[in-house]
Amino acid sequence: MADPWIEAYTFAVEIAKKAGAEIRKASESEIKISTKSSTVDLVTATDVRVEKIIIGALKEKFGEDVHCFIGEESISKKGACILTDEPTWIIDPVDGTTNFVHGFPFVAVSIAFVVKKELEFGVVYSCFEDKLYKGRKGQGAYCDEESIQVSDNIDINKSVIISEFGTDRTPSKVKKICSTMERILKIPVHGIRGTGTAATNMCMVACGAVEAFFEIGIHCWDVAAGAVIVQEAGGVVCDVDGGPFDLMSRRMMCANHIDIANRVIKEIEIFPSERDDGQ
């Protein structure tokens, strides 16, 4: 059977590259910053403009009312995001806004497509590195045109794990994050890393540079595209308690192998975070 979403997939790659070029151009001018949920949760005029460009292009291509859209910047103004069975684009125009503001060169455009609540494909464009990661359900994962696979190392003591501190500075949460990092270091693992963009972190798992990445407090637009890419590269995506991955839960663990995921999960001190769908 012909792939019903091939046109959408191809177009997502095209528009992610265009959006990335806009971000690169914008990084050369003065960056205007505002804040969202906290004083360290940054947004720039570029986030808003690039999201408009992406959604505008998708609407023009596929029709105004045919698809639904969950975009980081449009949603943060309106509140909860509801995922229906309709074909839905989930977009983070600038994943790694803090990096963008500071000139730390890991910034990604993340575009995922979901139908009947199932992820169909994901595209992540790391725009300063000029690397395009993509994954289509059942068709593998790629970095540019090269097929990618997760690491085959299942020895936790030889692993590198990614996690992030996020943007919530509630003292009790910061304490749990730091304590979790300490526990993981003491396993011991070879190292803990973080690129400052969840989408790129997931691509690092997908291409075998690290064994796992997890975070509590991320949003669906940070992880939707990366989730398909990791799975298509042979990895696993689940909840930070080992249960099934829930796109709206704001919790995500992905790894090259379930044994690595489960070993890291043993050390995670989970804290509550409000769901993206407000339920």
Q: Which of these ranges, 5-13, 50-58, 196-204, 241-249, lies near ligand IPD under the rule CB under 6 A?
A: 196-204
| Out of 189, 218, 230, 248, the residue judged to bind ligand IPD by CB under 6 A | 218
Provide the 3-class DSSP secondary structure of residue 184: helix
Label residue 278 exposed, middle or buried (CB < 10 Å: 0-12, 13-18, 19+).
exposed
> Can residue 198 be called a binding residue for ligand IPD (CB under 6 A)?
yes
Least distance from ligand IPD to the Cβ atom of residue 252, Å: 10
Q: Give every CB contact of residue 39 below 8 A, 6+ residues apart in sequence.
A: none
Query: Using CB under 6 A, which residues numbered 54 to 73 contact ligand IPD?
Result: 72
> Can residue 76 be called a binding residue for ligand IPD (CB under 6 A)?
no
Among residues 83 and 204, whose Cβ is nearest to ligand IPD?
A: 204
> Can residue 92 be called a binding residue for ligand IPD (CB under 6 A)?
yes
Please state, in angstroms and rounded to a whole number, the distance separating the CA atoms of residues 245 and 248: 9
Distances (CA, A) of 138 to 3, 115, 121, 228, 231: 11, 15, 9, 10, 9
> Can residue 276 be called a binding residue for ligand IPD (CB under 6 A)?
no
> Can residue 20 be called a binding residue for ligand IPD (CB under 6 A)?
no
> Can residue 164 be called a binding residue for ligand IPD (CB under 6 A)?
yes
Positions touching ligand IPD (CB under 6 A) are 72, 92, 95-97, 164, 166-167, 196-198, 215, 217-218, 222
Annotated binding-site ranges for Mg(2+): 72, 92, 95, 222
